[in-house]
């Protein structure tokens, strides 16, 4: 709702401070549905279910060449019916959109891996950055893509992807730092564990 009002802030606080404890990916994804159906969670839940089904389809499409049917069918079964997927499939949380986005990243990386077009790598770098905006663990994609390219000695493409992804990932934490004096609470929580 705050995104629809032009900010990303806490609506239940009188001062409406910026939301530094949640990444905005899921909120941005759900905002159009909340705008169209302001009094119902059902459209957002249906989108979540559709994203689970889309993730399963992309999984099959992406890995059908690497996995034999004897491996693909059980893998798909365990992806579809594991307790985490089942329990989160109709919820309005970031895990399901993140799963769908990771399947898109895998599919595009696989289909464009031999490309030398800068546009293909810009899209992939942007998508890896987008995974971060849904879940902080998405940073693994930001580093895994250039690392995989570097292993193949494609250093220029690896550097470009890393640079672009990090720039895109830094936008939200930088805005938070300027507005609230803290980039993301995830970083503090991670450091506190040590």
CA 60/CA 157 separation, integer angstroms = 28
Token pair of 159 as six digits? 């550097």
Residue bearing the bigger pLDDT, 50 or 11? 50
Q: Is the separation of the CB atoms in 80 and 56 below 8 Å? A: yes
Token pair of 63 as six digits? 């890995």
For residue 38, with 0-12 CB atoms within 10 Å meaning exposed, 13-18 middle and 19 or more buried, which class applies? exposed
Q: What is the pLDDT of residue 53?
A: 95
Residue pLDDT, tens place only, 139-183? 999 999 999 999 999 999 999 999 999 999 999 999 888 888 888
Q: What is the pLDDT of residue 149?
A: 97
Q: Is the separation of the CB atoms in 52 and 99 below 8 Å? A: yes
DSSP string, 110-162: HHHTT---HHHHHHHHHHHHHHHHH-GGGHHHHHHHHHHHHHTT-HHHHHHHH
pTM: 0.89
Residue pLDDT, tens place only, 14-51? 888 888 888 999 999 999 999 999 999 999 999 999 99
Q: Is the pLDDT of residue 194 over 80?
A: no
CA distances from residue 73 to 76, 86, 97, 104 in whole angstroms, order as listed: 5, 17, 23, 20
Residue pLDDT, tens place only, 120-134? 999 999 999 999 999
CA 167/CA 178 separation, integer angstroms = 16
């Amino acid at each position: 709702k705050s995104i629809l009002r032009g900010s990303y802030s806490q609506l239940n606080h009188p001062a409406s401070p910026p939301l530094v404890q949640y990444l905005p990916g899921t909120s941005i994804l759900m905002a159009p549905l909340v705008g169209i159906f302001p009094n119902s969670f059902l459209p957002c839940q249906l989108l979540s279910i559709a994203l689970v089904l889309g993730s399963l389809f992309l999984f099959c499409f992406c890995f059908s060449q690497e996995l034999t049917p004897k491996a693909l069918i059980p893998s798909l079964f365990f992806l579809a019916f594991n307790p985490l997927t089942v329990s989160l499939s109709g919820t309005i949380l970031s895990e399901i959109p993140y799963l769908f986005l990771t399947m898109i990243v895998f599919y595009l990386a696989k289909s464009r891996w031999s490309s030398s077009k800068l546009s293909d790598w810009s899209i992939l770098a942007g998508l890896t950055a987008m995974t971060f905006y849904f879940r902080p663990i998405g940073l693994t994609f930001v580093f895994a893509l250039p690392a995989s390219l570097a292993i193949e000695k494609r250093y220029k493409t690896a550097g470009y992807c890393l640079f672009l992804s990090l720039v895109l990932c830094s936008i939200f934490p930088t805005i938070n730092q300027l507005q609230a004096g803290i980039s993301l609470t995830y970083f503090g929580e991670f450091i506190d564990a040590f």
